[in-house]
Amino acid sequence: MSKITFIGAGSLVFTKNLVRDLLTFPAFEDCTLTLLDVDEERLGYAKQAVENIIAAGSYPAKVEATMDRAKALTDANGVVCTILVADLPVWRTDMEIPKKYGVDINIGDTRGPAGIFRFLRTVPVMLDICRDIERYCPDAVFLNYSNPMAMLCRAMQGETKVNVTGLCHSVQGTAAMLAKWIGAPMGEITYKCAGINHQAFYLEYKWNGKDAIPLIRDAILNKPEIYNEEQVRNEMFLHLDYYVTESSGHNSEYNAWFRKRPDLIEKYCTHGTGWNPGEHALPIKNVEKRRSDWKNRLIEWRDSPIDLGRGNEYASYIFNAVFGDGTLFQFNGNVRNLGLIDNVPPGACVEVPVLASRQGFSPIHMGPLPDQLALLVNISARCEELAVEGALTGDPRKIFHAICFDPLTSAVLSLAEIKSMVDEMFAANRDWLPQFKHFS
């Protein structure tokens, strides 16, 4: 019998979907599902939702809920993490302070000034979790879904011995989107994808073994509804020649081309992010509304109809490969660049194909990225490396320098303006950054 622990189980939709997926594997039908959250009320809703799934499938699995991390982790075979450190009052400053200085951030959970400060708040907690895994379940497979993915994984993989990788929806999600655009069944598509989290590229994309890149280009150029669905990503593809994995909303803030002027935001980022029209900046009021109505939303999710079919999240397949029935599974994971991508900084966190098996994780060497992609990816990777070093040493100067070279920030602000912005963000996060003794 396996034990699988969910840290941040109050993220109910994700917990429900992953539990559903896990229980479709015969190896996990009788597993113990241990739910952990810091919010007792949300934890209770999560436990009820999982019990509903177990009952609907008549599974012999059992579920337990606890707020004790040591108890939750003891003897776990697999651990999944979906935490968010700090809530809206501090999180909104990640967006609002840069906006005041003219840096118009779209989502802010991955990189740039907002992503870096989210990382600074989150990394002490994630390292504490890893130390507990080393203590209570040292052989467990740890799958992280929390953002900012690359910096968190880089810190955990560099500072602990935990068998951890990070998972994202964007690779398989975008691959399916491109298949739909060209009218191909997803089962007939193969691809090679590499880069960094949210900024990986399909180096190959084939339909029944034949290059499908010309079909993608033709669809974007000749079907306005397809071009308009993902304007930023489609522009990047048309000019850089390779398709990027993460949405236009995210990628608009990872480079210097689309969000540095109001006219560019209106042209590329307001109507073609893949979301509702007009959502070109974080809809703080919508987030506030969701936060105020969280209980009703959780009840709705808990009691929604149960679909026992398996989804396409990687986690259950990975667990099955490593400590289930042993079926090999290849996925794109976030791992340190130890001889994987030749022209990305050694040791940085990259997103590449990884083979999961009884032996654990075996990342696959991808060679060099095309030069134009390496230039773009290296800027972000090096900024992330500097931010991780600053976080681990408590050096605010390194955080400032990491943000100095962020593509969007440097396209908009002078060095003095960046310094003022970073100082203000440090002040707003003072209570959440115990690793920093001083900020200036």
Class of domain 168-281+313-440: alpha beta
Q: Are residues 174 and 197 in contact, defined by beta-carbon separation less than 8 angstroms?
A: no
Provide mean pLDDT across the span 251-267: 95
pLDDT, tens digit, 9 for 90 and up, residues 37-85: 999 998 998 999 999 999 999 999 999 999 999 999 999 999 999 998 9
pLDDT, tens digit, 9 for 90 and up, residues 287-320: 666 666 666 777 776 777 888 999 888 999 999 9
Distance CA 147, CA 158 (A): 17
Q: Are residues 406 and 94 in contact, defined by beta-carbon separation less than 8 angstroms?
A: no
Q: In 3D, which of 126, 97, 115, 117 has the Cα closest to residue 439?
A: 117
Residue 287 confidence (pLDDT): 62
Quote the mean pLDDT of the chain.
93
User: Which structure tokens are listed for 198?
Assistant: 């949210």
Distance CA 57, CA 308 (A): 7
Give the model's confidence band at 281: pLDDT under 50 very low, under 70 low, under 90 confident, else very high.
very low
Residue count (the chain): 440
pLDDT at 277 > cutoff 60 = no
Residue 300 confidence (pLDDT): 75
Distance CA 168, CA 145 (A): 7
Residue 106 confidence (pLDDT): 85
User: Which structure tokens are listed for 178?
Assistant: 């491109």
* C-alpha pair distances (Å), 391 with each of 37, 396, 407: 25, 8, 20
Distance CA 235, CA 244 (A): 10
Class of domain 3-167+294-307: alpha beta
User: Which structure tokens are listed for 302?
Assistant: 């808990």
Provide mean pLDDT across the span 413-417: 98
Looking at the chain, the domain(s) classified CATH 3.90.110.10 span 168-281+313-440
Distance CA 44, CA 36 (A): 10
Distance CA 277, CA 436 (A): 40
pLDDT, tens digit, 9 for 90 and up, residues 364-409: 999 999 999 999 999 999 999 999 999 999 999 999 999 999 999 9
Residue 183 CB burial class (10 angstroms; 0-12, 13-18, ≥19): exposed
Provide mean pLDDT across the span 277-284: 46
Output 113 or 41, whichever has higher pLDDT. Answer: 113
The catalytic residues are 169
DSSP class of residue 272 equals: -
pLDDT, tens digit, 9 for 90 and up, residues 160-209: 999 999 999 899 999 999 999 999 999 999 999 999 999 999 999 999 99
pTM of this structure: 0.94
Looking at the chain, the domain(s) classified CATH 3.90.1820.10 span 3-167+294-307
Provide mean pLDDT across the span 96-113: 94
Percent of the chain predicted with pLDDT > 70? 93
User: Which structure tokens are listed for 158?
Assistant: 């560099």
Residue 8 confidence (pLDDT): 95
Distance CA 310, CA 368 (A): 35
pLDDT, tens digit, 9 for 90 and up, residues 5-39: 999 998 888 899 999 999 999 999 999 999 999 99
pLDDT at 279 > cutoff 80 = no
Provide mean pLDDT across the span 221-246: 97
What are the counts of helices (DSSP H) followed by strands (DSSP E) for the chain? 19, 12
